[in-house]
Structure 1
Amino acid sequence: MNFRCPFLVMLVSILFLSEVYCQSYKGVTGISDTSYSTKNAYNHDVKTHPNIKIVSEFHLETVKEKRNVVYCETGKRKLNLDVFYNADKSYSKQTAVIIIHGGGWRTGSRTQHYPMAQKLASLGYVCFTPEYRLSTEALFPAAIFDVKSAIRWVRKNAVAYNFDPNKIAIVGFSAGGEMAAFMGTTANMPLFEGTSCNLDAKSNVNAVVDIDGTLSFVHPDGREGDDSKSTSAGTYWFGYAKAENPKLWEAASPLSYVSAQTPPTLFINSSVPWMHAGREDYIKVLDKNEIYSEVKEFEEAPHSFCLYEPWFSPTIECINNFLTKVFNK
């Protein structure tokens, strides 16, 4: 599928269906959801993987940090990010890496990926960990607008942090992986840019790393949208069940936009097949357009594998090797 061009058809369909069913704001509680955390994920996964170990923050002499930097203000809401960079002045123009956390677009925290940012910074990358508005605060596409704004802020600060503005990679885990792929496939599209911050810069990224993030909300291999036992993360995010507004769910899927403009992409996956729904169809489009991609699957790994050893270190190695290949070829 490739709906990059006929936006009006999709938009009209979404608006029509929106009139049939009222959008639900019941999940916009204004109360933070802390149900997905590294500790909670570990307590669940250690039952089936007793040898796993949480990767804690590193304290590396070469890595400098700036935390809680405001990248956008929307109304009274200040959105923050953190910066991790190598203090070694011998590095020439570096590569920027923006890391998007997971948690079903509703929970989770950017702090979960501080170890990843610190480790990549030690290898010479300039890393950024932005927050974004979750579905307890605002519905889709608010989070998309936020991440696009963060990309634009990062690009505007290339000189300040000594990286090449044409070497910006986005890495995301789970819901963050879906959004990372969405950033890669919807570069500079007015429909998804928002109107708040940093509009004098471009939102395109030059490489994507999707760690166990779905490529499609409507793919038959996926499981997002099952509300039979409780409201699904997707239903909370969109404010519509899948049956109520399937076109919106399709419009939020990276697979709907993958094209000749999509950047090189690395897929790093667990052993949970539905967490990479749409991956093979996505890669077919990349292959057709001669766009480089890689797949790394960790057998028997749980969904939150990148937060633990023994998978954290090889995940970092995969990302480093991929970005080295893409940007230094």
Structure 2
Amino acid sequence: MQKVITYSLFFLMFSSSVSAFQKVQKVQKDTSYTVNSSFKKYKKNFPNIEIPKPQHYENVKEINDEVYKQVGERKLHLDAFVNTDSLLKPAVIMVHGGGWKSGDKSHMKPMAQCIASKGYACFALEYRLSDEAQYPDGIYDIKEAIQYIKSNAKGFRIDTTKVAILGTSSGAQMATLVGTTNNNSNFEENTGYNTSTSVQAIVNLDGVIAFVHPKSTEGKMAAWWLGGTSKEKPKVWKEASALTHVDENTPPTLFISSQYERFQAGREEMIEIMDKHNIYSQVENFPDSPHTFWLFNPWFTETVNYITLFLDKTFKKES
């Protein structure tokens, strides 16, 4: 009898340990895409590139790893960089890239610090990557982050009528999809917040607008995030493309692009639709740059300048 109890207890303990290990493994982050790995990738062809260092600005308050959402035991965090002047300020939601599979909110820190110092409140988001949760869960995460930030507007000192969403690479694809589905019920979850997920501006840094497009190249990472290839999941690939949703409700948009045309797939068509509705758009190109130009000087400073001038034009124009 004692042996049976001992073996049973061992089995239960072993099973619990395996289950816990599998759970940890399930959410373990893919760290293949980092600023340093990108630097090493592009250094050979762009020998003069430099990684901008995070800066301390006296007029920027930083709040790290604030929980904005919890799924079971999984907590999702954001980093806030808030200008400390007394006025209510526009908010900038920032979505990192990494092929929907890798990357980290810390990649956005230098840009967030710099933009915040110019009169904004910036929020760099963590969201569930494709190894943990496939489309559209990451989109839900971003929209719920917007709701959380707006619901805590008083603490962050933001103007909830002036919110921009900014993304880089795959994060730009996600950000543009979020921006073009303002208050679209098909992209909302029952979160308990009564706050709108709408944004009033989009900043797209080298993110595709249409997955199935003559300029677009179908990749394994997109297929993994979308739950299948374009032939297997044609409706999903279309729904996940921001171009599908562009209409008279699309907010003003800034596109900043590298030399690689495949990351511009759908941009011209989006602008054409926006033009029909007299919605402002702006395009800036770096013709001789790596895909991740925003991570490095000499492009970092110019990128930040383009962004802040666009945001100033959109949010700080005289009424």
TM surpasses 0.5:
yes
- Match for 1:41: what amino acid? S
CA deviation vs aligned residue, 1:189-235 (integer Å, no higher than 9, x gap): 1211123x35311101000000000001111210133xxxxxx1111
Inter-partner Cα distance in structure 2 for 1:301 and 1:125: 27
Q: Does 1:243 align with 2:240?
A: no
Inter-partner Cα distance in structure 2 for 1:87 and 1:155: 17
Identity of aligned residues (%): 44
Cα deviation, residue 88, structure 1:
3.3
What residue in structure 1 maps to residue 22 of structure 2? none
CA RMSD of aligned residues (A): 1.2
Inter-partner Cα distance in structure 2 for 1:269 and 1:125: 23
Q: Does 1:175 align with 2:199?
A: no
The 5 A counterparts of 1:173-322 are 173-195=168-190, 197-225=191-219, 232-322=220-310
Cα deviation, residue 29, structure 1:
4.7
Q: Does 1:52 align with 2:49?
A: yes
Inter-partner Cα distance in structure 2 for 1:154 and 1:210: 21
The residue matched to 1:53 in structure 2 has which SS?
Answer: coil
Inter-partner Cα distance in structure 2 for 1:135 and 1:245: 16
The residue matched to 2:167 in structure 1 has which SS?
Answer: strand
Report which of the two has the higher share of helix.
Answer: 2
The residue matched to 1:54 in structure 2 has which SS?
Answer: coil
Aligned match for 1:133, one of 120, 128, 141: 128
CA deviation vs aligned residue, 1:27-73 (integer Å, no higher than 9, x gap): x9533211111000000011100000011211222221110111111
Moved more, 261-270 or 69-78: 69-78
Inter-partner Cα distance in structure 1 for 2:131 and 2:306: 33
Is the 8 Å Cα contact of residues 227 and 233 (structure 2) preserved in structure 1?
Answer: no
The 5 A counterparts of 1:74-85 are 74-85=71-82
Inter-partner Cα distance in structure 1 for 2:260 and 2:30: 24
Relative distance call for 1:292 and 1:198 in structure 2 (3 A) is farther
Is the 8 Å Cα contact of residues 72 and 80 (structure 1) preserved in structure 2?
Answer: yes
What residue in structure 2 maps to residue 323 of structure 1? 311
What residue in structure 1 maps to residue 106 of structure 2? 111
Higher relative contact order (CA 8 A, sep 6+): 1
Q: Does 1:34 align with 2:37?
A: no
Cα deviation, residue 263, structure 1:
0.3
Is the 8 Å Cα contact of residues 149 and 198 (structure 1) preserved in structure 2?
Answer: no
What residue in structure 2 maps to residue 62 of structure 1? 59
CA deviation vs aligned residue, 1:65-107 (integer Å, no higher than 9, x gap): 1101111112221111011012233xx2211011100001100
Is the 8 Å Cα contact of residues 69 and 144 (structure 2) preserved in structure 1?
Answer: yes
Q: Does 1:163 align with 2:155?
A: no
Q: Which runs of 5+ in 1 are unaligned?
A: 1-27, 226-231
Inter-partner Cα distance in structure 2 for 1:316 and 1:40: 22
- Match for 2:67: what amino acid? V
What residue in structure 1 maps to residue 3 of structure 2? none
Structure 1 moving runs of 4+ over 6 Å: none
CA deviation vs aligned residue, 1:97-131 (integer Å, no higher than 9, x gap): 11100001100001001001100111110010110
Cα deviation, residue 184, structure 1:
1.1
- Match for 2:88: what amino acid? K
Inter-partner Cα distance in structure 1 for 2:304 and 2:97: 17
What residue in structure 2 maps to residue 86 of structure 1? 83
Inter-partner Cα distance in structure 2 for 1:184 and 1:198: 21
Inter-partner Cα distance in structure 2 for 1:255 and 1:215: 6
Cα deviation, residue 295, structure 1:
0.2
Q: TM-score, normalised by structure 2?
A: 0.89
CA deviation vs aligned residue, 1:263-303 (integer Å, no higher than 9, x gap): 00000111111011010000000000000000000111110
What residue in structure 2 maps to residue 8 of structure 1? none
